[in-house]
Each structure stands twice: as C-alpha cells, then as structure tokens.
Amino acid sequence: MLEVRRTDHGRRCARWLAAAVLSAWGGGAVAGTDPAEESEDLPPLRLGEVTVVSRAVVEADRLGKFADRITQVSRDQIESLNAQDVSGAVRRIPGVTVSRFNAVGAYGGGAGGAVYIRGHGASRPGGEISTRLDGIARFNGVWTHPLLDTLSVDTAEAIEVYKSPQPVLGGNMAFGVIDMMPRRHEGEGFATRLVGTAGSYETLTGRFEHGGRLGPLDYLFIGSHRESDGHRDNADGRTDALYGNLGLRLDENWELRYLASYSEGYASDPRAEGAPPIPMVERYNTRSLFHLAKLSHEHDWGTGHLKVYYEDGWALWEQWDAANADAHDHRPETVTYGAHLREDLHLWTNGTLTLGLDQDYAGGEASDTYHTQTASSYTFDRVTFRNTAPYLLVSHTFGDQVKVTPSAGVRYNFSRHFDDEWGAQAGLRVAFGDTELYANAARAFNYPGVYTAVFSRSFWAFKPVATLDDWEGLDAETVEHIEAGVVHRFLPWLSAELSAYRDEVEDAVRIAAPPAYPPPPRFAPIGSYTVEGVEASLRASPWSCLDVYVGVNAMHTDPGDVPDAPDWSASAGITWRPYHRLTLNLDAEFVGERCVVNTRVAGTAQEEVGRHLLLDARGAFRLTPAGSRVQAEVFAVVENLTDEEYEYQPDYPMPGATFTAGLDVRF
C-alpha cells in the first residue's frame, strides 16, 4: 500500500470524471471538483497503488541529430495496437500508410505487405524505405524491398520512424527509415513471460520469453507463433520466429553483444474479388536467419560501436501464369553482410563530432521454374553489390537561455556497379522556454537493386546481347528534402507540433516497356515526382490515468497519382486507467482516397481505393496485485469496431469487426 495525498493524479482523474458526469446530468458545477482548486493540506488518503498509463498510439516525438523529427512506438504501443508485424505497429503514425492482404502474414510479392512514408516506397514495395534492426538494413538482397515476415515485431523494444530522408547515418535506400530497437534483458535476476491469444477466423498466437542476468552476462530468448485461416478463402497465413540476445559486460565502459533472429512463414493471396479462378493458391513463403555481433563503448569523451552482420534467406513465390496456363515458382536466395564502424566524439563542450564507415554487401541468385512450360524457366547467377561509405557530421549548441544547435553532415558512397554518390544533411534547432523551432534539409540517394540485373540478364533474355548489362549504366534515384516546424509546450501536460515539408524526387528507376515505350523493355531513370505536406500533432496527459494523442497529415503530390500518398490521413488514441487494475485503449485511423497500383512499370494506369475510418479498442485487466511474484493479465481486443468496409488494394476487402482475447503471465 502506498500513502498518497489527494492531489494524486489518479484521484484527480476520478473526481474530474465524476464532476463531468454530474454536471452533464444536473447542469451545475460541483464544488471542489476542479483539480487545480484541491487543497494541498488535506489528510493523507490510502490507495492501493499509483500508476501512470502508457502513451496512446506513439510513445514520443523527438528531434534527431539533424533536427529531423523521430516518432517512436514503444513495446506498450505495439501490444496495445495488437500489432502482428511491423506494419501493424506503425500504421497509426501520421504520414505512414501500409498495404496488406491478410490478418496474419505479409504477402511479399506485388504490393501485398509494405510500409510507405510520405509517398515514398512504391517503386519496390517499401524499397525506398530502409527497414532496420539495430541500425542494420534488413531487405531481400535481390528484390531490394523488405519482407515484413522476416522482421518479427516481437524482437522490438521500440520502433523509431524517421519520416525525412537519412542519407548520412542511413546511407543508401533511406528516403525514410524504420529502425527496430532490439530487446534485451534489463535488470537483475530472471524473468519469464507467456502470452497467448485466440480470435476471429481461427487466429491463434503464442509467445514465450525468458531472460536473465548472471553477473556481467545477460541473455534473452523469445519464441513466437502466429497463424490464421483468414477472413476470405485463401487468406491464410503463418509466421514463426526465434530470437536471442546475449550480452557480456567487459568492464564499466565496454560491452560485447550478439543477437540472432530466425523467421519463417507464408501468406496466401486471396486474389481480387471477381478475378477468374485459377487451379492453385498463390502463396509467398519466406525464411531468414540474421546474425549481428556488436562491440560498443561509453566514455566521457565519446561513444561508439563496431557492428558486424550476416543474413541469408530465401523466398518462394508460388504463382500462376495465365498466359502460359502453367504454375511457376520464383525463388530468390539472398545474402547481405557487412560491417559498420561509428564514433560519436565529445571533443569540446556542447559539441559532437561523428565519424563512421559502412561496408555493405547485398545480392543473391534467383530462378523461375515452370512446372510444364520449361522453355519459360530461367536462372540468374549470383550478383553481389558493394557499397563503401565513409561519413561525418558535426553539431554544436550555442547559448544558454536561447539554445541554437546547427548541424551538418555528409556521406560519400563508393559503389561497385554504379557511379559513386553523395548524400548530405543539415539541421538547425532553436530552443527557448517551452518552444522549439527546427528546420532540416537533405539530399538522399537510392541505387537500383540486383533486380535490374535479374530482369536484364534473365527475364528479358530475348533482348539483344549488347543490352544485357545496360542496367549498370543506371543512375541512382535522388530526393531533395526540406522541412521546418515548431514544437510548443502549452502546459506541463499539453504540447503540440506543426511542420511543413517538401520532397522532390528525380531519376526514379522505372521499367520502360511496350506499348508505352518502344521495345526492347529496359530500366530507365525516367520517374520524377514531388510531395508537399503539412503535419500536426497534439499530446495531452492531464492526469496520470489518461493520455490522449491526435495527429494529422495533409499531402499534395505532383503528379497527382503518386501511390500511397493520400491527401489526408489522421490518427488518434486514448489510453485511460479508470481503476488501478484496468487499462482501456481506444485508437482511430483515417486514410483518405489514394492511388495504390505500383509504379514499377512506366505508363501503368493507377487505380484508387476509397477512404476508410477504423476504430479499435482494447481492454486489459490485471488479475494479480502489484508486487506479486506472478503477474497475470487478461485482455480483449476489438478491431474495426464499426465493421467498416475498406481495402488496401483494389478489390481486396479487409476484415470487418474482429475479436481477440488473450492471457499474459509473467513471473
């Protein structure tokens, strides 16, 4: 039992809510119900416990090294949103849109599972967005885009989303960044957790976690399983994942850490409604094993790390070719590996110098095997791309009452197959009182992937031999970005942000193919588009039992059919704890009309999907008192409360109202 005064925020919340109800019924004010008017000298009140609720929708927005806004989703939000993968965890962030077919499993072919940020990511589904685990890019080495089913959301302690380009620290392919902060065992002793759920459409999930600390050694192991029959015929999916994180504290300054992540699964394609039947179920299968070793240090004069990583995996896309009336299996086998070295040096007061060197390799081989029409089959021998990139950035804070922090950085990328490229960023922060102004600018680049060689050498094998390697002459896509904004704290519990941004993309790689272009088909840097937008958010936490978040994004694109760039999108959420054992979450998502057809092929007509408004709710009740050796909680989730009819792809209806119940036990 804790002794608190009546000015405790939980008590204030209860009194304020009671006042609101009585006022609504009786039309009059209730004396003494204004929290600001409560006496500080009232006698102590005995309460069971005082707790602070987790944040609604997102954990925090903060400014990065280049005065760029970073939105963080914590472990609490991942679970309160009932997120089954990365797209489910970030879909409420303003400026972020997603695509998927099914409740469980992110279909890796076409545009069945992807995340888009401010209109970027559609040329390869999510491929201009660098999706990372502990700062290391995770993607299919042949087709460039991330495969969400290989990125288990269970491994993330938090997810940080950079909505502006990150060429200096992010490098290639970083028109936006989604970085998963890896989970590790914190604290002393040992801890075990079991979580299980069952829901609509025979959806089942289970997760086992165990971690501990033995002197300087800590470890964490996680295993999880998800499966669902799906809301439509052939909308089933399954994902399995294993994760381990082992750390050794060498001394008070140095740490050695190793983590491994294994995943496998599949998602079926239910196909567009009304599509002619085919004699098979198309399915996308994935498997991946990722290793990361990290040596890091923390000193008064600076921090730094050396990361060495290796990932191999494969995908199997089982498809039907209507033109050949035959099934075929596309199988890329991919490898990515490399090393990242970085030092953040505090060589002078209020300043930081960052130096880094990234060495990255990505590539693989691929085959497309027809079951009977073998003449249409092809194989692609292994090709590996290499990028070597040194970078530096510098920042310094001037002033005391008014703090001014300029920053600037540059990266130069040496490429094995393409022309060398450079990226640069600059930022400015001005903080005074409860207000902070910021502005940033960037030039980022995105190299063509191994897929350009696959098409040129294998898929387009009928082309003249002289053009088989014309992909090597392609330029990198570039984006020039500017953004400015203001953050203001009106009260200790009320803050807001407003920003405006502009992105101009040039030399976007597209397939120039007949009939829009003369034969033979080829890749060409012929795409360009501009995105302009305004973004705003409001956070209110007037009492420890209540947190409210509202965010909105408005975008305008030129041309107007840039995929997954809705004119308007918004999100909102409420976390409320009316009783110390009961937590309620309510969140909403609005996405306006938008084009969705992939722009990989130049001249392809875009299609639209309609707007939608989704409401989700979650309630959790703790069965055991705080401090118990065994903590148990039951929870229930209702998604799409209003049974909204919506879709992410044309004629791919998503589920109506769905229900999930679960049990969470920790000891």
In whole numbers, what is the pLDDT of the chain averaged over residues?
Answer: 89
The whole-angstrom separation of Cα 273 and Cα 283 is: 17
Burial class (CB in 10 A: 0-12, 13-18, 19+), 491: exposed
pLDDT higher than threshold 60 for residue 89: yes
pLDDT band at 4 (very low <50, low <70, confident <90, very high): very low
Residue 47 has pLDDT above 80, yes or no: no
Are the CB atoms for 286 and 263 separated by under 8 Å? yes
pLDDT digits (tens, 9 = 90+) for 321-350: 998 899 999 999 999 999 999 999 999 999
| Residues 144/114, Cβ–Cβ less than 8 Å | no
375/241 Cα distance (integer angstroms): 37
* pLDDT for residue 517: 80
- For residue 604, the model assigns a pLDDT of 67
User: Greater confidence, 289 or 561?
Assistant: 289
Check residue 156 and give its pLDDT.
97
What is the average per-residue pLDDT within 512-525?
79
33 secondary structure, DSSP code: -
User: Strand pairing of 113-117 and 96-100?
Assistant: antiparallel
DSSP structural state of residue 277: P
User: What's the pLDDT score for residue 53?
Assistant: 79
Q: Is the pLDDT of residue 460 over 80?
A: no
Is the confidence at residue 2, as pLDDT, over 60?
Answer: no
By three-state DSSP, how is residue 452 classified? helix
The predicted structure's pLDDT at residue 193: 97
pLDDT at res. 11: 45
What six digits make up the tokens of 616?
Answer: 């989700």
pLDDT for 51: 55
pTM of the model as a whole: 0.90
Higher pLDDT, 127 or 533: 533
> Residue 318: its pLDDT value, please?
96
The confidence band for 37, taking pLDDT boundaries of 50, 70 and 90, is very low
Give the model's confidence band at 463: pLDDT under 50 very low, under 70 low, under 90 confident, else very high.
Answer: low
pLDDT at 603 over 80: no
Which of the two residues, 520 and 441, has the higher pLDDT score?
Answer: 441
The DSSP bridge pattern shows strands 176-182 and 129-133 to be parallel
Percentage of residues in the chain having pLDDT higher than 70:
90
Asked if residue 566 has pLDDT above 80, the reply is yes
| Out of 312-326, 388-402, 463-477, 556-570, least confident range | 463-477
Q: Are 173 and 210 in contact (CB under 8 A)?
A: no
Please check the confidence at residue 23 and state whether its pLDDT lies above 50. Answer: no
In one-letter notation, the amino acid at residue 324 is N
Are 56 and 549 in contact, with CB atoms under 8 Å apart?
Answer: yes
The answer on pLDDT for 465 being more than 80 is no
Q: ∠ CA 358-64-128 to the nearest 5 degrees?
A: 55
| d(C-alpha 33, C-alpha 36), whole Å | 9
pLDDT tens readout for residues 209-219: 999 999 999 99
Lowest-pLDDT choice from 7-16, 132-141, 308-317, 604-613? 7-16
pLDDT in the model for residue 609 = 93
Sign for the pseudo-dihedral over CA of 213, 214, 216, 220: negative
pLDDT at res. 25 = 37
| 66-71-74-78 Cα dihedral, nearest 10 degrees | -140
Q: What pLDDT sits at residue 120? A: 93
The span from the CA of 663 to the CA of 634, in Å, is 5
Of residues 297 and 61, which shows the higher confidence score?
A: 297
Q: What residue spans define the domains of the chain?
A: 2-47, 60-666
222 pLDDT more than 60: yes
Lowest mean pLDDT among 50-54, 475-479, 627-631: 50-54
Please tell me the predicted confidence (pLDDT) of residue 459: 75
**Res 519: pLDDT:** 77
605 within 8 A of 559, measured Cβ to Cβ:
no
The three-point CA angle 269-271-273 to 5° equals 150
Pairing label, strands 582-591, 421-432: unpaired
Average pLDDT of the residues in 477-502: 97
Q: What is the pLDDT of residue 466?
A: 52
Q: Is the pLDDT of residue 392 over 80?
A: yes
- One-letter amino acid at 575 equals T
DSSP 567-612: SEEEEEEEEEEEETTEEEEEEEEEE--EE-S--SBTTPPP-EE--E
**What pLDDT, in 10s, does the model give residues 144-198?**
999 999 999 999 999 999 999 999 999 999 999 999 999 999 989 999 999 999 9
Non-local CB neighbours of 645 within 8 Å, separated by 6+ positions: 612, 653, 656
Output the DSSP codes for 463-490: S-GGGTTGGGGPPPEEEEEEEEEEEEEE
- Structure confidence at residue 601 (pLDDT): 65
Q: Which of 54-63, 313-322, 405-414, 654-663 has the lowest mean pLDDT?
A: 54-63
Res 24: pLDDT: 36
- Cis-peptide, bond into residue 518, ω within 30° of zero: no
Contact 576, 546 (CB under 8 A): yes
Token match 């060398």: residue? 420
Q: Report residue 22's pLDDT band, with 50, 70 and 90 as the boundaries.
A: very low
Distance CA 252, CA 123 (A): 46
CATH code of the region 60-666? 2.40.170.20
